[in-house]
Structure 1
Amino acid sequence: MTVPETTPEIAQQRAQQTAEAVRAAMLAKDTVLRTLGITVDSIGPGRASASMPVRADMLNGFAICHGGLVSTLADTAFAYACNAYDELTVAAGFSVDLLAPSHAGDVLTAVAQELSKSGRTGLYDIEVRNQRGERVAMFRGRSYTMKGRPVIGGLPVQRGA
């Protein structure tokens, strides 16, 4: 009796290991995350979550977190989710609906989930909630995969860093 080289459990474990390696490779070069205090809390094939504390220097003239920063957090979860397969994937477009304000001291968490991936394109929904579980924003991202270009070992070298 021969034992198959790959079982569904082994394939799932390898996919998770790949996603973790992608996270490490991307984090090593992602200066925006360090600047904004964003952490990538979890990653897996087609999914990721990221968190960001809202600081006083992130507030707009109405003393609420700037919508662009909420979008950046959601875009981060989106980027890590769609790159988790170790194929360089970029945003082809996105839309965001800001549903509630967030304030200094809040901690926002964006959770990205793949809805569809076919050929070179993908579709992802990202929900942003505050520490009380209140929905702050909904983000939908469309991705484009550059087949044959890995993330691990394929990211450009930063100049001057």
Structure 2
Amino acid sequence: MTPKERAEKSAAAMWAEDHASKWAGMEITHMDEGEAALELTIAQHHCNGHGICHGGVTFMLADSAFAFACNSRNQATVAQHNVISFTAPGRLGDRLIAKAREISLTG
């Protein structure tokens, strides 16, 4: 099995039980060893009182992409620390894309 095949099988197994990401409307659009891309189209229920995408939804998309990337070797891992900077608001109908790539792999 190639590393990409392992990553795709790991993602499929995780996705089967990832009710939160599916509930939010996310889609996995790319998987490989140490990397993942997930996408989400902003719907009305993702918007806050300012009419823009709720920051928690944006963070959730990024966190899910991270989770799929770091679990691509079929070894259960979770985040210890995570930070996000919001550079621009997402708006109703926008397509958000979160790309995650490992930059370090330590024990």
TM-score (norm 2): 0.96
The higher relative CO (CA closer than 8 Å, separation ≥ 6) is in: 2
SS across alignment from 2:73: coil
Indicate whether 1:78 and 2:59 are aligned.
Answer: no
Structure-2 separation of matches of 1:18 and 1:111? 19
The equivalent residue for 1:156 is none
Structure-1 separation of matches of 2:12 and 2:33? 14
The equivalent residue for 1:5 is none
Amino acid paired to 2:44: A
SS across alignment from 2:29: strand
The equivalent residue for 2:53 is 65
Higher strand share: 1
The equivalent residue for 1:27 is 15
The equivalent residue for 1:7 is none
User: How well do the aligned residues superpose, as a CA RMSD in angstroms?
Assistant: 0.9
How many residues are aligned here?
107
Structure-2 separation of matches of 1:34 and 1:74? 14
Q: Aligned residues: percent identity? A: 36
Moved over 2 A (4+): none
SS across alignment from 1:94: coil
SS across alignment from 1:17: helix
In the TM superposition, residue 57 of structure 1 has moved relative to its aligned partner by 1.0
Gaps of 5+ in 1: 1-12, 120-161
Indicate whether 1:90 and 2:78 are aligned.
Answer: yes
Structure-1 separation of matches of 2:101 and 2:13? 21
In the TM superposition, residue 89 of structure 1 has moved relative to its aligned partner by 0.4
Match of 2:41 among 32, 45, 53: 53
Counterparts of 1:99-114 in structure 2, within 5 Å, are 99-114=87-102
In the TM superposition, residue 42 of structure 1 has moved relative to its aligned partner by 0.9
In the TM superposition, residue 14 of structure 1 has moved relative to its aligned partner by 1.5
Gaps of 5+ in 2: none
Higher helix share: 2
Structure-1 separation of matches of 2:93 and 2:30? 22
The equivalent residue for 1:117 is 105
The equivalent residue for 1:14 is 2
Structure-1 separation of matches of 2:73 and 2:11? 10
Structure-2 separation of matches of 1:81 and 1:109? 14
